[in-house]
Amino acid sequence: MAFPFSFSFTVIFNGLNFIMILLLCSAAQTKGSGSGAGAGAGSGSGSGLVLLLDNPDHSYFRTQSLSQEAYMTQSDIAATMSVLLGFAPSASLSVSSSKLDALLTPNPFKRPHAVLVLEARGINQETLSGLDFSNFGLESYSYRHLVAESSDTAFDFPEDEVMLVSLKGASDDENDLHSIEKELSDLALWLGGFYTGGQQPMQGNLSIPLSKESSLTLNLLKGADQIFAKELVSLYQNIRRVAVMHENLAESSLDTAELLLGSFAGVEALQEHYGHNNIPCKGLELFLNVAVKLFNSLQLSYGGQIVGIVAMNSNVVPSSEEMFDIKLTSRNSHLLSELDSSKRLPPNFAEVQAKLIRKAVAWSMAFILLVTTLVGVYYLFNMPITRDTLLYSNVKLD
C-alpha cells in the first residue's frame, strides 16, 4: 500500500509546482508587457523618465535585452556617461556592472566620446503619463523610469581629456529680446509653425503644430509662456553653437571627449501656471520634438559619434542646483599639492639640511674607501709569485 500512496503524493506535488510555474510566468509576462514604449510611458514607478537616444546603426545602446532593468538612478546615468566617454565610472557611484552590461553594447573599444545630456525638471507624473514616443519619429531609442536618489551625484573627469560644454539657460537681459525674438521666428519656421510679433519684443503669439492634428499656441504676454519660449530658443541656439564648435575642434585634430550638459525649465513653468491643463503636456511634447530634431542634426555634425540622454525629472529643485555635480580635475593636481606642501619648510630646515649633507659625505667616503680596499686586496692576492726579471737580474746598467 506504500507505493500507491507515494505515487499519489508525487502527482499532487508535481501538479502544485506546475500551477506555481504558470502563475509566475503569467506575472512576468504581465510585467514585461507593461514596460513597453508607447502611450503612458510615464505611468511606471519612479520620479521621472530617462530617454536614451542612439544613432541609426544602434552602435552604443543595446536594442533588446531580456535582462534589462526598467529603472535608472542618477548614479546609473552618471556611470553611463562615464563609460560612453571612455572612462571607468567613479568609485563613489553605487552602480552594478550587470545594469551597465544590459544597457550598453559589449564593445569597449567603440564608444561615441560625445554625450548630450538634457535635464527637464519639475515635470509631474500626470504630464509624463501622456507621453507617446511614437510621435517623435525616433529611429533608435529606449527609455527607463528615473528613480531619484537622496544624495548628490558628484564625479569628475580629467580636464585634459574631456571638454565640458554648458548649454546655459535663457538670458534675462532685456537688450537680448530683439535677437531672441528673431531666433524664435526662425525656430517656428524650422518646426513648421509661425510667430506673430506684438507691440513689444517677445509679446507676440507662437504657434507650433504637433502630432495628431494638434498644435500648441502660446501668448508671450504671459510670463510662463515667455519663459517656455526663451528656454526653447536658448536650447536651439546652444545646440547650433555646439555644432560649429565641434567642426572647429575637428579641424584642429584634438582628440577630446565632449560632454554637453543642459537643462530645460519651460515645462515646469507651464505646469505652475496652467496646473493640470493640457498645455503642459503639449509643451513637453514640443520640447522633446525640438530635442530630437536637434540631436539628429548633431548626428550629422558628429558623424554618428554622439548619443543623447534626456532626463525628465519630476522633482522640483531650485534652478541653481544641477542634477549632476561634475568637476574637471587635472592629473597633476596631486603632484602639485605635494609640491605646494614641500614649499612650507620647517623652522630647523637649515640644521636638518646640514646633517643630511654631512651624512651623505660620510657615507660617500666610506663607500670609496671600501671599494679601494677591496680593489687593493684583489690585486694583492693576484700578484704573480715568480721573481721579477728586472728586479732580480745581475745586469748593471751604466
Q: Is residue 254 part of a domain?
A: yes
- Residue 282's pLDDT is 92
Domain range holding 70? 39-173+216-337
Please report whether residue 84 resides in a domain: yes
Please give the average per-residue pLDDT across 182-200, as a whole number.
90
CB 206 within 8 A of CB 184: yes
Instruction: Tell whether 233 is covered by a domain.
Output: yes
Check residue 293 and give its pLDDT: 92
CA distance 351 to 355: 6
Say if CB 342 and CB 114 are below 8 A apart.
Answer: no
Higher-confidence residue: 324 or 196?
196
Q: Residue 161: pLDDT above 60?
A: yes
361 within a domain of the structure (yes/no): no
Q: Give the containing element (helix H, strand E) for 375.
A: helix 349-381
In a domain, 232, yes or no: yes
Q: Is 292 a member of any domain?
A: yes
pLDDT in tens, 298-314: 998 888 899 999 999 87
What is the pTM (predicted TM-score) of this model? Answer: 0.70
C-alpha closest to that of 225 among 295, 282, 289 = 282
Encode pLDDT of 330-347 as tens digits.
Answer: 755 544 544 454 555 556
Greater model confidence, 41 or 394: 394
| Distance from chain centroid for Cα 48 | 17
Residue 32 maps to a domain:
no
Residue 187 domain flag: no
What's the domain count of the chain?
A: 1
For residue 344, give the amino acid letter: R
Q: Is the pLDDT of residue 202 over 50?
A: yes
Q: How far apart are CA 122 and CA 110, in angstroms?
A: 35
Q: Are 292 and 210 in contact (CB under 8 A)?
A: no
